[in-house]
Structure 1
Amino acid sequence: MNVTTSTDSLPLLEIKDLRTYFFLEKGTVRAVDGVNLTLQRKTTLGLVGESGCGKSITAMSIMRLIQEPPGKIVSGEILLRSRTFGQVLDLVKIDRHSQTMRAIRGGEIAMVFQEPMTSLNPLYTIGDQIAETVQLHQKVSKKEALERALEMLVKVQIAMPKQRLKEYPHQLSGGMRQRVMIAMALSCNPSILIADEPTTALDVTVQAQILDLMRQLQEDIDSSIIMITHNLGVVSQMAHFVAVMYLGKVVEYGKTHDIFHRSLHPYTVGLLNSVPVLGRKGKKILVPIEGIVPSPMNIPPGCPFASRCPKVMSKCREVAPELQEKESGHWVSCWLYE
């Protein structure tokens, strides 16, 4: 399946039939189970869904950060059009410990993790940590790397950036630490930035500042962003395209406007109906999605959403539907549209 919807025939990243499993004593967890995605140049792709649907594991697979064992990418392709190596690379076939992967990780694909306090080393200053990232990917002196670190702190609008260079992570607020993570991720001008729940632990006002900052920096360095979040409000502001994931699969994909205004999959409709809307006249009744997500260790036959779907049919419990294009650039995996 090719989900390219842009006139650009050369997408930056293509994921084809990706399957990442975890082999545990109690059974096999199919965390990512046949994901197909395309990331266009200079665009933002939103990955949304409930906790445990495979969003973060998809990102970790792209970065080749899956711990082996118990995890393993068992099949599929992750095709990157690399500017460093001047060719299309299948990241699945590259040794995750190799120099090639280390050059890509941070240099071409960078990641902002969900909790910056656990991602920053408490024993080193902010300046040393950003400078180390710069020196890993660029042949510069420590002095030049620190100058680059200061430049990035200025870009992410941290107050008193010279002072912050000498401080440790515990001396910064949550919003500042998140800005440091973004500065570190963008210090080598990566082609792709993966942001995993970058605003979850922040106040609403700080969230807005971080999102504005990411948009501005995206324009400055012409990067593409994969935004992983369960916050549909963030997706509506940031993303050009949206992929809705459920139990390791993409169940709907399309332009953000189409996903929000012409949702096709019952799961997507359920997600939107369970979001409160401020400022709307009249009362909106929030409709929760009934039931719970099945265990990824014991996925039932048929459509994975069948046990919770209000429009379930007998066929849904027997055969899993394929992701198909029902409108131009709008894909859905549901028997309702056969």
Structure 2
Amino acid sequence: MSLLDEVKNELAAITDDSSLAKQAQVSTMLRFGGGIQLVKNVPVVFAKLTNRSSAAWLKSSIMEIWGYDVELRKASSTLATGETMEYDLVAVTREGKRLALQCGLLDQRSHEITGIAPAHIQGNIAQVKAAWRGAFLAKGRLSDPGKSSMMEIVCPSVDSVNDLIMAARRLGVTAKPHRVNSSVRVRITDPDVIERMLILMGAHTTAREWSGKRVEGETRGKANRLANFDDANMRRSAKAAVEASQKVRHAFEVLGEDIPENLRAAGQLRLDHGDASLEELGRLADPPITKDAIAGRIRRLLQLATKVEKQRAANAEKN
């Protein structure tokens, strides 16, 4: 089971809400999950949900609050990618218009409310939390721990985006609009704010689990980055040591016996200890010297060889 399903299962198991809060949750689940449409000139209220527990909660709540018969059945649709998505379809085929009026999908003039019913986002805090919970149960997404943190809700309209952001603001949370192609969404990316919103909606257990796994993933990622950094440094150091040894060997061939003893000793240490760092070479010198000193002697050895090579080349041209 995915963590997203765990979150939705926990939210769908909440039973201590007031009647007003339940109505707010039902309304936003229907608005974000489907809405109202005419089927053979009959208004049908429906919602397509990807989580079974959410669908079961919606069915039982509609029956409990208003007493309407509710259908719960499996449905599917094919995405543009060719993938088939399975849904639990909740539908009220009789008294659909009356339910739409009662739960805030239609106003008193029977005009469709394209956002969230004002009574729900302007009501008490329990209603606001329930509205966000209903929207998340219908169309909410949550990033896996260890990936870039993201909570988002795919919204049916621009009005619903604005209403959801307003509701978040009432809860002390900053959410932002986001557009992906033709889809409009509300998104939260700050991991601490995501954890806070999960708790506000009522997912206390899975909020801690998500946060714990996120921190664990970040720690592991940081350790991997440091290990890769150290490994890259080691490879660069080894490559530099090999190149330095080749240059010293060439200097010895150019200079022969005509090398100052201190420079010869430094060069020989490099040849004898090809993998050692400059600091280690300095400790191996007799007497021990600093890494700057050993580096300076090797540098002067190479400069001397270069100078002699140039002199020989110039003499050869004259002759």
- Establish whether TM, by shorter chain, passes 0.5: no
Task: Return the structure number with greater relative CO, CA threshold 8 A, min gap 6.
Answer: 1
Normalised by the length of structure 2, the TM-score is 0.28
Give the number of the structure whose residues are more often helix, by fraction. Answer: 2
Normalised by the length of structure 1, the TM-score is 0.26
Which structure's CA Rg is the greater one? Answer: 2
Give the number of the structure whose residues are more often strand, by fraction. Answer: 1
